[in-house]
Amino acid sequence: MNILITGIHGFVGSNLIKTLSKTHTLYGLDIVSPNKEGVKQTLSWDDLQHSEKMPTIDAIIHLAGKAHDTKNQSAAQVYFDINTGLTQRIFDYFLQSTAKKFIFFSSVKAAADFVPGDVLTEEVIPDPVGPYGESKIKAEEYIQANPSKDKQIYILRPCMIHGPGNKGNLNLLYNVVKKGMPWPLGDFENRRSFVAIDNLCAVIDGLISKEVESGIYHIADDEAMSTNELIATICEAMGRKPNIWKLNRKMMERVAKVGTTLHLPLNEERLRKLTENYVVSNAKIKKALGMEQMAITAKEGMLKTIKSFQER
Ligand SMILES: NC(=O)c1ccc[n+]([C@@H]2O[C@H](COP(=O)([O-])OP(=O)(O)OC[C@H]3O[C@@H](n4cnc5c(N)ncnc54)[C@H](OP(=O)(O)O)[C@@H]3O)[C@@H](O)[C@H]2O)c1
């Protein structure tokens, strides 16, 4: 197949190239266009208006988006311009093109900031909080308002993706552990879902090569992990003993309350983020692809990612 991938030079795109370029011809669409191994040509967004510049495409994977702002400095409108605006632009192009498959990377954050009940499924009524999730759900709504009978359209909602080249919060946690700092929140036993890049790539490969019904699909590893397990796994990859302190939970909650009042680094919001439960079901996507289990376990994926951080 000829596959057009937007945001191809980002974290997911760079990893996806390695899987898909083995069996497909890949074209990129990005704001930067350096030559990249495995990519035949990178086009610009303006090229979409010039049909003579566009190759014949069978499938589009839309990755371009604004996600990681670990410093929280971006204005809300930027998220809507990029996450909603670019999705409308590429989806309009898809509808009038000969391409038959469209894969949009939304996020679980379009569905829920916190998980109501035990597990987040596709049945949830979306209730995003903040411009990232809100801009993604607007993009989803645009796609759903324009269905197509003879094309397959997938809205994917991955939870936190990790792998080589990852820039997000996992990196921050890795650096904290690497400095030998103790983890003081060991008394909190939460469960969180992640998705290893290998599992994500296997899902995309399946959607491209198989006949799968259009729809919304959540993407997660088979197993959820607690933050304590995550820290223990980071330490295992580094060949170290985990330094987890089980300071009294109630006391830490009181410390965070004081932190909120005094604007300290450990405040109630940060404590909630670090210790929350966020378990995502992958049952629907596995059933659709006829998979018994994901390609690798959550722990195998995490060890691979942490080892890739050490190689940098
Ligand atoms: N990583 C995760 O944990 C995660 C989880 C759920 C969903 N997702 C979604 O998955 C997609 C891929 O994520 P990622 O981690 O690969 O993100 P990433 O590394 O930030 O890559 C995003 C890509 O979008 C491009 N882009 C950013 N702003 C743009 C603009 N104004 N116009 C055109 N292109 C623009 C980036 O180009 P530059 O590199 O030049 O800025 C980059 O190529 C995103 O849509 C993200 O929201 C990611």
- What integer pLDDT is reported at residue 106 of this predicted model? 98
Q: Two tokens at 137?
A: 């759900």
Backbone angles phi, psi at 57, to 5 degrees: -115, 140
82 lines ligand 1 (CB under 6 A): yes
Ligand 1 centre from 70 Cα, in Å?
14
Mutate to test the pocket of ligand 1, among 15, 31, 169 (most ligand atoms within 8 A of CB): 31
Mutate to test the pocket of ligand 1, among 60, 63, 91, 280 (most ligand atoms within 8 A of CB): 63
Please name the residue that has the structure tokens 């990377």.
105
Q: How many CB atoms lie within 10 A of CB 203?
A: 26
Positions of E strands within 24-162: 25-29, 39-43, 59-62, 101-105, 152-158, 161-162
- Condensed to tens digits (0 to 9), the pLDDT of residues 15-35 reads 999 999 999 999 999 988 778
Atom of ligand 1 nearest to the CA of 64: 24
Query: Which residues, at least 6 apart from 156, have a Cβ–Cβ distance to it below 8 Å?
Result: 103, 104, 105, 106, 203, 216, 217, 218, 219
Which residue's C-alpha comes closest to atom 31 of ligand 1?
A: 82
- What integer pLDDT is reported at residue 245 of this predicted model? 93
- Condensed to tens digits (0 to 9), the pLDDT of residues 49-68 reads 999 999 999 999 999 999 86
Per-domain residue ranges for the chain? 2-165+193-221+279-295
Pairing of strands 152-158, 215-219: parallel
- What integer pLDDT is reported at residue 269 of this predicted model? 87
List, run by run, the mean pLDDT of 10-residue segments along the chain (312 residues).
96 95 96 87 94 96 84 81 98 97 98 94 96 97 94 97 86 88 91 98 97 97 96 93 92 94 88 92 98 97 94 77
Ligand 1 centre from 62 Cα, in Å?
9
Domain 2-165+193-221+279-295 classification at class level: alpha beta
- What integer pLDDT is reported at residue 110 of this predicted model? 97
192 lines ligand 1 (CB under 6 A): no
Ligand 1 centre from 64 Cα, in Å?
5
Amino acid (1-letter code) at residue 284: K
Q: How many CB atoms lie within 10 A of CB 8?
A: 27
Mutate to test the pocket of ligand 1, among 6, 8, 11 (most ligand atoms within 8 A of CB): 11
Ligand 1 centre from 255 Cα, in Å?
36
Contact predicate 170/160, CB 8 Å = yes
What pTM was estimated for this model as a whole? 0.94
85 lines ligand 1 (CB under 6 A): no
Which residue's C-alpha comes closest to atom 13 of ligand 1?
A: 12
